[in-house]
């Protein structure tokens, strides 16, 4: 049976499921990075998020901190993937609104500016409670 040989350079150029293509450079109009989210809510809700580079897991790209309200109770810390229409670093200093849907062990978050959805996060982790809340906040450098 014939076998094919692939050079190490070609293997390194292939996308890895553990490191999606895109990172801080836009690929196909979307940018991906790794995210960590902390949620706390009991009618009033807080949302804190940190966004990290895929290639350098300790390199912090940006932070988000916001608050709001809605029908939710619970909280937790969750990890996942962030997809954005622009590099996360370009959002530093921007005031944005957000919507959060969280369930035990899962969360879905959208951030937007002036009605345009610009960032989405899907993650899983240690969480209790559930709910839907929205609010506003700001992206920052550290």
Domain residues of the chain, as ranges?
A: 20-140
Name the CATH topology of 20-140: Lipocalin (2.40.128)
Q: Which two tokens stand for residue 133?
A: 């809340």
- Integer Cα distance of 38 and 94 in angstroms: 20
Per-residue pLDDT of the chain (142 residues; tens, 9 = 90+): 444 444 445 434 444 444 444 445 455 678 889 999 999 998 899 999 999 998 888 899 999 999 999 988 998 999 999 999 989 999 999 999 999 998 888 999 999 998 899 999 999 998 889 999 999 999 999 7
Say what the pTM is. 0.78
- Integer Cα distance of 77 and 70 in angstroms: 19
Q: Which of 64, 57, 17 is nearest to 34 (CA)?
A: 57
Residue 93 CB neighbour total at 10 angstroms: 10
């Amino acid at each position: 049976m014939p076998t094919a040989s692939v050079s190490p350079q070609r293997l390194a150029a292939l996308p890895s499921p553990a490191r999606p293509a895109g990172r801080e450079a836009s690929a196909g109009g979307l940018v991906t990075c790794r995210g960590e989210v902390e949620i706390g809510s009991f009618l009033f809700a807080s949302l804190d998020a940190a966004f990290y580079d895929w290639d350098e897991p300790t390199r912090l790209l940006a932070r988000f901190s916001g608050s709001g309200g809605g029908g939710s109770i619970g909280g937790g810390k969750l990890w996942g993937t962030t997809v954005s229409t622009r590099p996360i670093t370009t959002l530093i200093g921007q005031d944005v609104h957000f919507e959060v849907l969280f369930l035990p062990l899962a969360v879905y978050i959208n951030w937007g500016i002036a009605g345009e959805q610009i960032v989405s996060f899907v993650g899983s982790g240690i969480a209790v409670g559930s709910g839907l809340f929205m609010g506003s906040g700001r992206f920052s450098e550290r």
